[in-house]
């Protein structure tokens, strides 16, 4: 095996491992939420939304991305090379700035997991009854997400810069496969914890995750020594004819770039029709139609499908169709599957459907939406890589901005939906002067008591499901308006614009 091929394989393996760590951290937040929801079906939608807020670190990481992408002299001086081939002075100077940040952040994530390990299951249970403990749990998860989002900034740029330009889609494939496999660990743990909460405890999960972070840090150092990225001192002198622009000038170029504006429009508008998805799933768990372990198992199936499609079909699909066309048409299918999910929930979901609803309705919907997400994800990374290469000195920052905006477009509608659902349930309970929460209305004991006494429910099930009904109508309407006003025109522009019109901005 040649040295170039060996380094290429090593690069892909280590970057994939780092993305695997990202998936583990993102899965950790899902693990905490699903386990709490499984043990406490009456957990309010507001508390569920609050526990999901740490994921906003991925949405707003562009705020501190320039610091990681441009500066690191705070703790290691910029390497200086007097002559070509001379070894940099000092141990840290041997490593590219991205490597330095990645290693530091990996160890910080490992430390955060050790804090969760010391708390264990008792700490998680106390978060339900004590608001101060709930805040402590939220704070630990927020720091974990912040470290992980910061690591993502460096890894995204490292993945792209370490690959040839013609293999830009490979970076998206590495991120997709690595992140999904890491998230699968969390889904698998939810299912195992449901089966044996003593053996597969929170402490065991946190300790294992901490070790994974340490292993990834060591692997990063090995890759940096075997296949180092070019130092900025050489890059700025030898590879580019112009000095890098400052941050203000770069932001101005980003604002003026038509292609960037269209990418932003696509990122911010694609997630609105999917806003009610997690609300629907959480209501199904509260209604005892499915369990959190069942949903976690479905997510494992979807991960296998998504990885398979991304690995075998994504590159062929990108060769046959423009990435913007894939985003445009697949995002239209999101409406269809989201509407089906809401309609099935409103008219079919009931504890009596517990034996078949998950397998025959929820699982097919999860798999169909997963198939679309696999293609959209790789297409988005391909489009983002094209835009980022127009800013040679800020590839990491541009990739981070586009990635963060995509997360904003996904998380903001979902968060608004969850908090709105809490308000709607509170107003509905006040209107009928009775508790309209799903967990109480559909509790097995309450259902059996009504059946034994031949009593009719105090109010219609549709009244209980009012939050999903009203919010589905609202978000589908807003999503349709945003799609035809911004997403479709943006995709058409990116699809019809020639490469010469998207030449590197900083080279002009």
- Structure confidence by residue, pLDDT tens digits, 218-242: 999 988 888 776 555 444 434 444 4
Domains of the chain: which residue ranges? 1-74+92-230, 246-432+442-491
> What are the C-alpha distances in Å from 320 to residues 157, 263, 380, 495?
27, 21, 16, 13
In this prediction, residue 487 carries a pLDDT of: 93
Topology of domain 1-74+92-230, CATH: Growth Hormone; Chain: A; (1.20.1250)
> Do the first three CATH levels of 1-74+92-230 and 246-432+442-491 match, i.e. the same topology?
yes
DSSP letter at 457 equals: P
Cα 450 to Cα 174: distance, rounded to the nearest angstrom: 53
Reduced to 3 states, what is the DSSP secondary structure of residue 245?
A: coil
Residue 378: other Cβ atoms inside 10 A: 27
Residue 84: other Cβ atoms inside 10 A: 7
Tell me whether residue 335 is exposed, middle or buried, using C-beta atoms within 10 angstroms of its C-beta: 0 to 12, 13 to 18, 19 or more: middle
Residue 184: other Cβ atoms inside 10 A: 23
Q: Which of 310, 283, 314 is nearest to 422 (CA)?
A: 283
Q: Which stretches of the chain drop beneath a pLDDT of 70? A: 1-6, 69-95, 164-170, 229-250, 393, 396, 432-436, 450-451, 454, 498-508
Yes or no: is domain 246-432+442-491 CATH 2.50.20? Answer: no
Cα 128 to Cα 41: distance, rounded to the nearest angstrom: 11
In this prediction, residue 385 carries a pLDDT of: 80
Contacts 24+ apart (CB under 8 A), 479-482: 479/269, 479/272, 479/273, 479/275, 479/335, 480/273, 480/335, 482/268, 482/269, 482/272
CA 243, 247, 252, 257 torsion-angle sign = positive
Cα 385 to Cα 15: distance, rounded to the nearest angstrom: 16
Cα 165 to Cα 499: distance, rounded to the nearest angstrom: 14
- For 342-403, the DSSP string reads HHHHHHT--GGGHHHHIIIIIHHHHHHHHHHHHHHHHHHHHHHHHHHTTSGGGHHHHHHHHH
In this prediction, residue 70 carries a pLDDT of: 67
The token duo for 494 is 């990116």
The token duo for 218 is 């060591």
């Amino acid at each position: 095996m040649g040295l170039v091929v060996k380094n290429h394989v090593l690069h892909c393996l280590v970057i994939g491992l780092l993305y695997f760590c990202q998936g583990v951290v993102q899965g950790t937040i899902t693990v905490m939420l699903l386990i709490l929801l499984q043990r406490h079906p009456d957990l309010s939608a507001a508390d569920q939304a609050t526990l999901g807020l740490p994921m906003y670190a991925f949405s707003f990481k562009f705020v501190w991305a320039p610091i990681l992408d441009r500066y690191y002299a705070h703790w290691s001086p910029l390497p200086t090379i007097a002559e070509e081939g001379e070894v940099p002075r000092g141990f840290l100077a041997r490593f590219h700035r991205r490597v330095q940040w990645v290693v530091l952040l990996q160890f910080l994530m490992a430390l955060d997991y050790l804090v969760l390990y010391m708390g264990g299951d008792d700490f998680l249970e106390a978060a339900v009854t004590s608001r101060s403990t709930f805040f402590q749990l939220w704070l630990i998860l927020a720091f974990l997400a912040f470290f992980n989002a910061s690591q993502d900034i460096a890894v995204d740029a490292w993945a792209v810069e370490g690959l040839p330009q013609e293999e830009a889609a490979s970076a998206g494939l590495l991120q997709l496969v690595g992140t999904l496999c890491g998230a699968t660990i969390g889904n698998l743990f939810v299912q195992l914890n449901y089966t044996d909460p003593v053996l597969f405890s929170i402490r065991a999960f946190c300790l294992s995750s901490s070790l994974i972070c340490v292993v990834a840090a060591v692997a990063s150092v090995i890759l940096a020594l075997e296949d180092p990225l070019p130092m900025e001192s050489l890059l700025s002198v030898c590879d580019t004819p112009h000095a890098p622009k400052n941050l203000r000038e770069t932001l101005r170029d980003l604002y003026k770039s038509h292609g960037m504006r269209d990418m932003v429009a696509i990122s911010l508008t694609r997630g609105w029709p999917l806003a009610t998805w997690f609300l629907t799933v959480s209501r199904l768990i509260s209604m005892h139609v499915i369990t959190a372990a069942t949903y976690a198992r479905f997510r494992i199936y979807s991960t296998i499908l998504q990885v398979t499609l991304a690995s075998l079909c994504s590159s062929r699909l990108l060769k046959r169709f423009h990435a913007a066309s894939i985003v445009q048409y697949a995002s239209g299918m999101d409406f269809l599957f989201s509407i089906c999910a809401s309609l099935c929930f409103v008219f079919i979901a009931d504890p009596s459907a517990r034996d078949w609803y998950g397998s025959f309705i929820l699982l097919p919907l999860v798999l169909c939406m997963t198939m679309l997400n696999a293609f959209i994800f790789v297409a988005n990374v391909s489009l983002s890589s094209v835009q980022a290469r127009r800013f040679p000195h800020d590839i990491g920052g541009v990739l981070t901005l586009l990635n963060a905006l995509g997360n904003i477009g996904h998380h903001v509608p979902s968060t608004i939906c969850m908090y709105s659902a809490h308000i709607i349930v509170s107003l509905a309970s006040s209107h009928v002067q009775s508790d309209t929460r799903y967990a109480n209305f559909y509790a097995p004991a309450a259902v059996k008591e009504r059946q034994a006494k031949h009593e009719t429910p105090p109010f219609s099930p549709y009244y209980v499901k009012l939050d999903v009904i009203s919010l589905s109508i609202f978000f589908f309407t807003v999503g349709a308006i945003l799609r035809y006003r911004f997403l479709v025109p943006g995709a058409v522009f990116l699809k019809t614009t020639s490469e010469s019109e998207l030449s590197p901005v900083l080279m002009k």
